Amino acid sequence: MSWTLRRRILLAGSLLAVTTSRHALAQAAAWPSQPIRLVVPFAPGGTTDLVARLLAAGLQERLGVSVVVENRAGAGATVGSEMVARAAPDGYTLVMSNIASHGISPSVYRGRIRYDAVADFAHIALVVSNPTVWVANPRAGIRTLADAAAKARGTGGLDVATSGAGSSNHLMVVRMGQLIGTELNHIPFRGAGPAMQAVIAGQVPMMSDSLPSAANHIRQGSVIAVAMASASRHPSFPDVPTFREQGFDLASDSWFGISAPAGTPAPIVERLNLESRAFLSTPEIVARLAELGGTPGDLTAQGYGEFVRREVALWAPLVQASGATPD
């Protein structure tokens, strides 16, 4: 290749990069000018959906455009996440990234999902984290984990519902079965809302759930809180003993954030991060999340991206050791 031709190729590449950069800046400057879609990769009624609707209302007020929540459940939260990974990177399609879709499912569904939890997303902000709680139908005869273990060892075993395969709650069920010494019957649903309704109706006796989606049901008495998977008793539910207090060395936190397709202009990502963190730091939202048992996040966009990367690396060997599979 001649030097003249090489220079022309390099110049063309430089001009393309400059043009692309200018287009991205212009796009970011005009953003937002239309409604934003916030995809929840679970059915309505669970923690992800609850947090998404709180955040959507806050961002809508701060950005001045509608933020519409859209539920796209299925396959351990990977269906809705994959849809967003393939969407246009223009800041108008976001996803509630979470411990299932962007932490655990990439290992549980290895070879079955068509997105990279790190590379295919521009991670924006950590929204909330919270512990797992196990609840039971009041008529199931389960008041303690010892009761649950006894039923699990009995004829027919013990059915435990979760928001879906690939969730942290799923892994809790697998690990609890290992500690008890008998496999628990994991009953996956397409979200925490449908799973909770099944427990309340008595169709499934027990559930492993994230605290925010279970909190009101516990307070109303429609389910009994059996154990909290936190290091110590939760201040909002001081009467609920931990797993460790009951002799089972288990602790688990769930987390939820927002992400966009990879390639979303950095100014849009930064604006969303700043607006989200500002909203999450308001006294009203801090109090509301505390009431539900959640702790608001406060990471930069870069910090959240690094957080997701660490979670993927953390859960891969744990999934393999647990033997958890899509079911």
For residue 164 the two structure tokens come to 């879906």
Asked if 294 and 130 count as a contact pair (C-beta separation under 8 A), the reply is yes
DSSP 187: E
How far is Cα of residue 205 from the mean position of the Cα atoms in its chain?
A: 24
Instruction: Return the axis-axis angle of helices 3-30 and 266-280, rounded to nearest 10°.
Output: 30
Asked if 137 and 221 count as a contact pair (C-beta separation under 8 A), the reply is no
pLDDT at 25: 59
pLDDT at 322: 77
Does residue 296 surpass a pLDDT of 70?
yes
The percentage of residues in the chain with a pLDDT greater than 90, rounded to a whole number, is 70
Instruction: Return the axis-axis angle of helices 266-280 and 283-292, rounded to nearest 10°.
Output: 70
pLDDT at 4: 63
pLDDT at 219: 96
pLDDT at 267: 98
Does residue 120 surpass a pLDDT of 90?
yes
DSSP 237: -
For residue 76 the two structure tokens come to 């351990």
pLDDT at 17: 52
Cβ-proximal residues to 255 (8 Å cutoff; 6+ apart), any chain: 98, 99, 103, 126, 128, 129, 130, 297, 311
Summarize pLDDT for 138-148 with one digit per residue, the tens.
Answer: 999 999 999 99
* Helical (H) or strand (E) element with 273: helix 266-280
- Of the given ranges (91-105, 201-215, 313-327), which has the lowest mean pLDDT? 313-327
pLDDT at 12: 61
Summarize pLDDT for 156-201 with one digit per residue, the tens.
Answer: 899 999 998 888 899 999 999 999 999 999 999 988 999 999 999 9
Does residue 24 surpass a pLDDT of 60?
no
Sequence ranges of the domains in the chain = 34-129+254-322, 131-246
- pTM here? 0.80
Tell me which of 324 and 41 has the higher pLDDT.
Answer: 41
How far is Cα of residue 62 from the mean position of the Cα atoms in its chain?
A: 23
Does residue 18 surpass a pLDDT of 80?
no
Kindly state the average pLDDT of the residues 16-25.
54
Other beta carbons within 10 Å of 61: 11
- Burial 100-130, CB ≥16 within 10 A → b, else e: bbbbbbbbbbeeebebebbebbbbbbbbbbb
pLDDT at 256: 95
pLDDT at 76: 81
Does residue 84 surpass a pLDDT of 80?
yes
Asked if 47 and 213 count as a contact pair (C-beta separation under 8 A), the reply is yes
pLDDT at 191: 87
Asked if 6 and 46 count as a contact pair (C-beta separation under 8 A), the reply is no
Asked whether this chain's domains 34-129+254-322 and 131-246 adopt the same fold, the reply is yes
pLDDT at 29: 78
Residue 163: name the closest of 132, 136, 140, 139 by CA.
132
pLDDT at 6: 61
- Of the given ranges (7-11, 83-87, 311-315), which has the lowest mean pLDDT? 7-11
- Of the given ranges (16-30, 185-199, 201-215, 250-264), which has the lowest mean pLDDT? 16-30
CATH homologous superfamily for the domain 34-129+254-322: Bordetella uptake gene, domain 1 (3.40.190.150)
Mean pLDDT of the chain: 91
- What is the pLDDT confidence band of residue 14, given thresholds at 50, 70 and 90? low
pLDDT at 2: 61
CATH number for region 131-246: 3.40.190.10
How far is Cα 153 from Cα 49, in angstroms, rounded to an integer? Answer: 35
